[in-house]
Amino acid sequence: MNRYQQQTDADLIMLLREDKRDAFAEIYNRYWKKLLAVAYRHCKDKIIAEEIVQEVLISLWNRRKELYIENVNAYLATAVRLSVFKQYVRQKRREQITAQVADPIITSWDEEMIYTRFLQQHINDIVEILPEKCRLVFKLSRNEGLSIPVIAQRIGVAEKTAEAHLTKALKILKNKLNRPFLWVILIFQMLTS
Protein backbone atom coordinates (compact mmCIF):
# COMPACT_ATOMS: atom_id res chain seq x y z
CA MET A 1 0.00 0.00 0.00
CA ASN A 2 1.51 3.31 -1.01
CA ARG A 3 1.23 6.47 1.04
CA TYR A 4 -1.21 8.08 -1.41
CA GLN A 5 -3.87 5.43 -0.77
CA GLN A 6 -4.19 6.73 2.78
CA GLN A 7 -4.56 10.37 1.73
CA THR A 8 -7.92 12.14 1.70
CA ASP A 9 -9.29 13.52 -1.55
CA ALA A 10 -8.48 17.06 -0.40
CA ASP A 11 -4.88 16.06 0.26
CA LEU A 12 -4.64 14.37 -3.13
CA ILE A 13 -5.89 17.54 -4.84
CA MET A 14 -3.25 19.58 -2.98
CA LEU A 15 -0.56 17.11 -4.05
CA LEU A 16 -1.94 17.11 -7.58
CA ARG A 17 -1.52 20.89 -7.69
CA GLU A 18 2.13 20.29 -6.80
CA ASP A 19 2.49 18.09 -9.93
CA LYS A 20 2.62 14.82 -7.99
CA ARG A 21 1.89 12.15 -10.56
CA ASP A 22 1.31 9.53 -7.88
CA ALA A 23 -1.51 11.67 -6.47
CA PHE A 24 -3.11 11.75 -9.91
CA ALA A 25 -2.65 7.98 -10.23
CA GLU A 26 -4.43 7.51 -6.89
CA ILE A 27 -7.35 9.73 -7.94
CA TYR A 28 -7.52 7.76 -11.18
CA ASN A 29 -7.52 4.43 -9.35
CA ARG A 30 -10.16 5.58 -6.87
CA TYR A 31 -12.63 6.97 -9.36
CA TRP A 32 -12.23 5.56 -12.86
CA LYS A 33 -14.64 2.64 -12.32
CA LYS A 34 -17.30 4.90 -10.80
CA LEU A 35 -16.86 7.43 -13.59
CA LEU A 36 -17.06 4.71 -16.22
CA ALA A 37 -20.33 3.49 -14.67
CA VAL A 38 -21.74 7.05 -14.71
CA ALA A 39 -20.71 7.59 -18.32
CA TYR A 40 -22.02 4.20 -19.44
CA ARG A 41 -25.34 4.74 -17.65
CA HIS A 42 -25.87 7.90 -19.69
CA CYS A 43 -24.48 6.96 -23.12
CA LYS A 44 -24.97 3.15 -23.20
CA ASP A 45 -21.75 2.70 -25.20
CA LYS A 46 -18.68 1.28 -23.46
CA ILE A 47 -16.12 2.71 -25.90
CA ILE A 48 -17.60 6.20 -25.78
CA ALA A 49 -17.89 5.95 -21.98
CA GLU A 50 -14.21 5.01 -21.73
CA GLU A 51 -13.23 7.93 -23.99
CA ILE A 52 -15.29 10.34 -21.91
CA VAL A 53 -13.72 9.18 -18.65
CA GLN A 54 -10.27 9.43 -20.17
CA GLU A 55 -10.98 12.98 -21.43
CA VAL A 56 -12.27 14.06 -18.02
CA LEU A 57 -9.23 12.66 -16.24
CA ILE A 58 -6.83 14.18 -18.77
CA SER A 59 -8.61 17.50 -18.28
CA LEU A 60 -8.16 17.11 -14.53
CA TRP A 61 -4.43 16.64 -15.00
CA ASN A 62 -4.11 19.50 -17.52
CA ARG A 63 -6.03 21.92 -15.28
CA ARG A 64 -4.52 20.73 -12.00
CA LYS A 65 -2.95 24.13 -11.17
CA GLU A 66 -6.16 26.11 -11.56
CA LEU A 67 -8.68 23.77 -9.96
CA TYR A 68 -9.99 24.14 -6.41
CA ILE A 69 -12.09 21.06 -5.79
CA GLU A 70 -13.80 20.42 -2.49
CA ASN A 71 -15.58 17.18 -3.40
CA VAL A 72 -13.58 15.19 -5.96
CA ASN A 73 -16.26 12.52 -6.39
CA ALA A 74 -19.01 15.06 -7.16
CA TYR A 75 -16.73 17.17 -9.34
CA LEU A 76 -15.64 14.23 -11.51
CA ALA A 77 -19.15 12.76 -11.75
CA THR A 78 -20.52 16.14 -12.86
CA ALA A 79 -17.68 16.53 -15.36
CA VAL A 80 -18.50 13.11 -16.81
CA ARG A 81 -22.21 13.92 -17.10
CA LEU A 82 -21.41 17.21 -18.86
CA SER A 83 -19.02 15.42 -21.19
CA VAL A 84 -21.69 12.84 -22.02
CA PHE A 85 -24.08 15.68 -22.83
CA LYS A 86 -21.46 17.39 -25.03
CA GLN A 87 -20.78 14.08 -26.76
CA TYR A 88 -24.49 13.63 -27.37
CA VAL A 89 -24.79 17.13 -28.87
CA ARG A 90 -21.71 16.57 -31.09
CA GLN A 91 -23.10 13.23 -32.27
CA LYS A 92 -26.49 14.73 -33.12
CA ARG A 93 -24.79 17.55 -35.03
CA ARG A 94 -22.65 15.03 -36.94
CA GLU A 95 -25.77 13.06 -37.86
CA GLN A 96 -27.49 16.22 -39.09
CA ILE A 97 -24.49 17.21 -41.20
CA THR A 98 -24.13 13.69 -42.57
CA ALA A 99 -27.82 13.59 -43.44
CA GLN A 100 -27.55 16.91 -45.27
CA VAL A 101 -24.30 16.16 -47.05
CA ALA A 102 -24.90 12.51 -47.85
CA ASP A 103 -28.53 12.83 -48.91
CA PRO A 104 -28.51 10.92 -52.23
CA ILE A 105 -31.35 13.01 -53.64
CA ILE A 106 -29.55 16.28 -52.92
CA THR A 107 -26.22 14.86 -54.07
CA SER A 108 -27.75 13.51 -57.26
CA TRP A 109 -29.54 16.78 -57.87
CA ASP A 110 -26.32 18.73 -57.34
CA GLU A 111 -24.42 16.47 -59.72
CA GLU A 112 -27.14 16.85 -62.33
CA MET A 113 -27.12 20.62 -61.89
CA ILE A 114 -23.34 20.73 -62.29
CA TYR A 115 -23.45 18.49 -65.35
CA THR A 116 -26.28 20.55 -66.86
CA ARG A 117 -24.44 23.81 -66.22
CA PHE A 118 -21.24 22.59 -67.86
CA LEU A 119 -23.06 20.99 -70.74
CA GLN A 120 -25.00 24.23 -71.31
CA GLN A 121 -21.74 26.19 -71.23
CA HIS A 122 -20.22 23.81 -73.75
CA ILE A 123 -23.25 24.16 -76.01
CA ASN A 124 -23.06 27.95 -75.71
CA ASP A 125 -19.37 27.81 -76.69
CA ILE A 126 -20.23 25.70 -79.75
CA VAL A 127 -23.10 28.04 -80.72
CA GLU A 128 -20.72 31.00 -80.62
CA ILE A 129 -18.52 29.44 -83.33
CA LEU A 130 -21.46 28.72 -85.65
CA PRO A 131 -21.78 30.79 -88.82
CA GLU A 132 -23.68 34.02 -88.16
CA LYS A 133 -27.02 33.06 -89.76
CA CYS A 134 -26.96 29.56 -88.22
CA ARG A 135 -26.25 31.05 -84.80
CA LEU A 136 -29.07 33.59 -85.16
CA VAL A 137 -31.62 30.97 -86.27
CA PHE A 138 -30.51 28.56 -83.53
CA LYS A 139 -30.80 31.21 -80.80
CA LEU A 140 -34.21 32.35 -82.02
CA SER A 141 -35.41 28.75 -82.18
CA ARG A 142 -33.95 27.37 -78.96
CA ASN A 143 -33.58 30.40 -76.68
CA GLU A 144 -36.71 32.30 -77.66
CA GLY A 145 -38.79 29.31 -78.73
CA LEU A 146 -39.82 30.78 -82.09
CA SER A 147 -41.09 28.59 -84.94
CA ILE A 148 -39.38 28.39 -88.36
CA PRO A 149 -42.01 30.59 -90.12
CA VAL A 150 -41.67 33.30 -87.46
CA ILE A 151 -37.86 33.12 -87.61
CA ALA A 152 -37.90 33.31 -91.41
CA GLN A 153 -40.17 36.35 -91.30
CA ARG A 154 -38.10 38.06 -88.58
CA ILE A 155 -34.73 37.70 -90.35
CA GLY A 156 -36.17 38.15 -93.85
CA VAL A 157 -35.35 34.78 -95.45
CA ALA A 158 -37.41 31.93 -96.88
CA GLU A 159 -38.69 29.28 -94.49
CA LYS A 160 -36.58 26.63 -96.23
CA THR A 161 -33.48 28.79 -95.74
CA ALA A 162 -34.23 29.27 -92.02
CA GLU A 163 -34.84 25.53 -91.71
CA ALA A 164 -31.53 24.80 -93.50
CA HIS A 165 -29.65 27.13 -91.10
CA LEU A 166 -31.22 25.42 -88.07
CA THR A 167 -30.47 21.96 -89.50
CA LYS A 168 -26.84 22.96 -90.11
CA ALA A 169 -26.54 24.38 -86.57
CA LEU A 170 -28.00 21.21 -85.02
CA LYS A 171 -25.73 19.01 -87.14
CA ILE A 172 -22.63 20.93 -86.02
CA LEU A 173 -23.77 20.78 -82.41
CA LYS A 174 -24.45 17.05 -82.64
CA ASN A 175 -21.04 16.37 -84.14
CA LYS A 176 -19.26 18.45 -81.50
CA LEU A 177 -21.21 16.84 -78.66
CA ASN A 178 -20.68 13.28 -79.91
CA ARG A 179 -16.91 13.56 -79.67
CA PRO A 180 -15.53 10.76 -77.49
CA PHE A 181 -13.32 13.18 -75.58
CA LEU A 182 -16.19 15.55 -74.74
CA TRP A 183 -16.42 14.02 -71.27
CA VAL A 184 -12.74 14.65 -70.69
CA ILE A 185 -13.25 18.29 -71.73
CA LEU A 186 -16.26 18.65 -69.42
CA ILE A 187 -14.46 17.07 -66.47
CA PHE A 188 -11.40 19.22 -67.10
CA GLN A 189 -13.58 22.33 -67.20
CA MET A 190 -15.25 21.30 -63.93
CA LEU A 191 -11.91 20.82 -62.24
CA THR A 192 -10.37 24.05 -63.49
CA SER A 193 -13.31 26.36 -62.84
Calculate ∠ Cα 187-192-193, nearest 5°: 100
| DSSP result, 15-72 | HHHTT-HHHHHHHHHHHHHHHHHHHHHHH--HHHHHHHHHHHHHHHHHTTTT---S-H
Residue 105: its pLDDT value, please? 57
Residue 101: its pLDDT value, please? 64
pLDDT in tens, 86-96: 888 888 888 87
Question: How many whole angstroms separate alpha carbon 165 and alpha carbon 54?
Answer: 76
Burial environment of residue 165 by CB neighbours within 10 A (0 to 12, 13 to 18, 19 or more)? buried
Residue 193: its pLDDT value, please? 46
* Three-class secondary structure of residue 92 per DSSP: helix
Question: How many whole angstroms separate alpha carbon 71 and alpha carbon 82?
Answer: 17
Q: Assess contact for 80 and 38: CB atoms under 8 A.
A: yes
Residue 45: its pLDDT value, please? 85
**pTM attached to this predicted model:** 0.49
Question: Topology of 3-101 in CATH?
Answer: Rna Polymerase Sigma Factor; Chain: A (1.10.1740)
Break the chain into its structural domains and give their ranges. Answer: 3-101, 104-192
What would you report as the CA-atom Rg of the chain, rounded to the nearest whole angstrom?
36
Q: Assess contact for 57 and 28: CB atoms under 8 A.
A: yes
Name residues of the chain where pLDDT drops below 50: 186, 189-190, 193
**CA of residue 91 relative to chain centroid, distance:** 14
CATH architecture of the domain with residue range 104-192: Orthogonal Bundle (1.10)
